[in-house]
């Protein structure tokens, strides 16, 4: 029993070492260096947005909400979320109320251009998670060479209604180096609305 636990721990350590050799989270100095060189572009941008290992991003004022449909939506390769949602705009200084259990799509203010050797992932902020607000549900990965704004799948898991405001620092982008150069050219390249 003891040796099996030791072997399992050694396997976990080896897996961690392999992963750390494949990808590394970029630090503040590396992020700022990429920005200054022009390889990484963020617009609008303020240097205060860069933390020790992430970049703060702000909530835009365009949202996609679900229509009040009482139907079954088929999940398959042809599924188009636009058929069951609608776009709304919230003026600066105004709020959008998210009911308990509700899912909406938001988008960042910032337009991001990643270089080919850098990928990213979106993470929520703990101050919002602690009240039940998730800023992305399942698609937090940002492909290398992505260009555009980042769509957020925002969900209210709290028992309360929550008010969100455009301009709020809603999430953070963590950047990682990839082995080799990849380039995203998929369906959501250069997206500008949720």
Q: Evaluate whether residue 32 is within a structural domain.
A: yes
Q: Evaluate whether residue 17 is within a structural domain.
A: no
* pLDDT > 90 fraction of the chain, expressed in percent and rounded: 64
Q: Evaluate whether residue 113 is within a structural domain.
A: yes
113 burial (CB, 10 Å; 0-12 / 13-18 / 19+) is: middle
Task: Write out the catalytic residue numbers.
Answer: 153
Query: Is pLDDT above 90 for 191?
Result: no
pLDDT one-digit tens code per residue, 1-53: 444 544 555 555 555 445 445 568 999 999 999 999 999 999 999 999 999 99
Rounded mean pLDDT of 120-135? 94
138 confidence band (pLDDT: 50, 70, 90): confident
Q: What is the CATH number of the domain that holds 27?
A: 2.70.40.10
* Structural domain boundaries, residue 75: 23-177
Bridge-partner residues for 50, per DSSP?
55
Q: Evaluate whether residue 9 is within a structural domain.
A: no
Q: Evaluate whether residue 57 is within a structural domain.
A: yes
103 burial (CB, 10 Å; 0-12 / 13-18 / 19+) is: middle
Q: Evaluate whether residue 136 is within a structural domain.
A: yes
Structural domain total, the chain: 1
Query: Is pLDDT above 80 for 89?
Result: yes
């Amino acid at each position: 029993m003891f040796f099996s636990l030791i072997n399992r721990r050694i396997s976990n350590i080896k897996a961690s070492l392999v992963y750390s050799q494949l990808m590394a989270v970029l630090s503040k100095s590396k992020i700022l260096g990429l920005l200054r060189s022009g390889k990484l572009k963020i617009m609008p941008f303020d240097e205060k947005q860069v933390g020790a290992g992430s970049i703060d991003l702000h909530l835009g004022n365009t949202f996609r909400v679900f229509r009040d449909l009482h139907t079954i939506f088929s999940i398959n390769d042809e599924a188009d979320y636009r058929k069951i949602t609608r776009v709304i705009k919230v003026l600066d200084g105004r709020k959008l109320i998210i009911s308990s259990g509700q899912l909406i799509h938001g988008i960042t203010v910032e337009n991001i251009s990643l270089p080919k050797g850098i990928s990213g992932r979106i993470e929520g902020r703990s101050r919002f998670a602690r009240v039940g607000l998730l800023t992305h549900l399942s698609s937090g990965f940002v492909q290398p060479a992505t260009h555009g704004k980042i769509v957020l799948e925002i969900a209210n898991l709290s028992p309360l209604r929550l008010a969100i405001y455009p301009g709020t620092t809603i999430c953070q982008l963590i950047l990682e180096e990839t082995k080799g150069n990849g380039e995203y050219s998929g369906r959501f390249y250069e997206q500008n609305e949720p």
